[in-house]
Structure 1
Amino acid sequence: MPITALPTPPSRTDAANFNTRAESFLSALPTFVTQANALASEANGYAANAATSAATAVNAPGTSATSTTSLAVGTGSKSLTIQTGKALVVGQWVTITSTATPANWMHGQITAYTSGTGALVVNVGMTAGSGTIAAWTVGLAAPSQGTNALLATGSYADPAWLTSLSAAKLAGTVSVANGGTGATTAAAARTSLGLVIGTNVQAYNAALTSWSGKTVPAGVVVGTTDSQTLSGKTLTSPAINGGALNAASTVSDSGTIATGSVGFRGVPQNSKTAGYTLALTDIGKHISITTGGIVIPANGAVAFPIGATIVLYNAGASSQSITITTDTLRQAGTANTGARTLDGYGLATLVKVAATTWVITGAGLS
């Protein structure tokens, strides 16, 4: 509030101007008094406001407290005892923090406070850390926890209210450009992402599981229906139609093995020094035997395929018998059937010509 300056007061040393100055000075006093009173009122108002602010500052500890109640960090209703006479009311939000380890805290809303006893009840919705603690600091905090809560990075992890949001609270889609799928169904999401099964993605087949542990070859993968020429490959125990010859299949080695056959370039030896009964694995081989003779098993026991060929060589000086079990053994170029004899160092060839019929021919055969 501005105050108008008073005029020069009268002075007895200036008798000539005394009356004039006295008149002017006395006339100005009423205005001065009015202005001075207004200034005093304004100053008093400032003083009152300052006193109020000072009282508020003094009373600020009324919104903070401590407690020695033992509590386990967790959500839900928490009851503890703090100092009496605090300026806390129902509805305020507070954080209950471990005095020794601030990383352990609970945050929630006051549901009850009794000023006379210091009994405080807080509905905790967020926590951090763990353990049971008996030294707490309680202070006012900003409201949070709700459907419109702002989640700050690192503020808390996996709160129960967030993981339990119902589908009704989640709506809309996130576009592919923003890191989403732009869809609400799996099929639509695949389409949005350009993952159409059968077009962009291989359709699932249970047979693919058996390939997962296989080593990928360095060259061309062998197909099952297309025509391919293999070179430099090793076929271990190959079979065509379960072992039967198939003229539609070809295994060749520089053209030296006939079309329609799977076998050996030579006649591998199966050496025996005692009586021996022929087996399926002898097909295409020669049996070199020194004693004991050869037995051809019945078709009912060992079903050699028609066309099976086995060479017999008597590697000893004494003759050896070639017998057959129930089926028929014919000597080529004769009407002879049944068991045959192979002289010392004789060589004979067996060929199966029917389901139960073999034909034998050779040198030293009788």
Structure 2
Amino acid sequence: MAHPPSLNSFTKAIKENCHISDAGGASIFSICGMALRLRDLNKWEQGLYPWQEAVPSDLLEWIDNREQIWESVGDNDYSPLPLNGRHYDPFDTRAINRILHPQGLFYGAGYAHSLKPCFFLARILETRDIQGIPVLILGQEMVRDLLTLPALNQDDAVIFRKDAAALFLWDQMAYLKKSGQRFLRMALRRCGLPDPGTESRIDGFESILSIFQQTCIHHEIGEICDTVFDRSRFRQIVAGFPHSTVELLARTVKDLLADTGPNGTLAHIIETKNAAALGFYAAFQDGLFRPLFPQLRPAVEKFVSDDDWDGIENTRGIGFDTARRYVEELLSMLESGDGGETPEQTIDRVNTRLVVPLNNGESPITG
């Protein structure tokens, strides 16, 4: 992929940082999770559509080469980024983007799940303003790491990565669990697609992606507008308990707040009466999110027969109250253990009190 001559050394440094991050972060994924991420990264590098698959032998050779690269850079420090005669810290996104934006480019950097650093460089397709928040829609990605993140918020702006979102969305549909299939079928019907088959999804993919784009954008807006879970406290929790059930619970509750808050995902779906978006939203919920918000899918099933948006609004409120209570309980538990126990003891206490009951279908916190 050709880059402007002045950016060659810049993009090369980002790519090296992506390799370093991927080498250090590979261990956080399961074997299946790692295989899926490698496959998507290969699709991006080869310019394949989300529904296209690489020749198996070519993919295996590519993976072998990638692992050799990781072995060669795994102990390296992250490189500063050369730009306009200066070198920038790779996480100094504000300063870097002040230079890149006039060129129609956006640089992303931050920490994802388990504190894995994430880096990418993409072309800006368009900019919007929603509820006073800048929203950037990104197109062609010139550099990226292993993580296929469809959207994020950075420096008080919402970023939608269209290339990554397309891969993510296709995987969500392709590997959806049986329990979510009926909601996916509902969503596809509301999109006007004749059947839920692969060819129908391919034909209607741009429409599906457009709906998913709005869902992702308003999730990020919900996060930015949330006043329940203090951002600095959330970052402290993630930094203090990386790759643990404490981090998982904190992230899931934070997502639920964003989705059910007055400025978030479900509020926008309800306001626009977008039944297809509601179906996709219900279909794609998994992990701790489902036992935290068990009212969602029954409410959507009822909606299929009565189109009652008031019922969905009531359910949104229940989800928001649940998320708020879990934030309060989690923060209380963490504060009570400050200074008096090891991180492992805190993780075990939170896991026993909050996470295990959820996984067993119980609700340890009542209103």
Q: Which has the larger radius of gyration?
A: 1
TM above 0.5: no
Classify the TM-score, shorter chain.
Answer: under 0.3
TM-score (normalizing by structure 2): 0.18
- Which structure carries more strand by proportion? 1
Scaled by the length of structure 1, what TM-score is found?
0.18
Instruction: Please identify which structure carries the higher helix content.
Output: 2
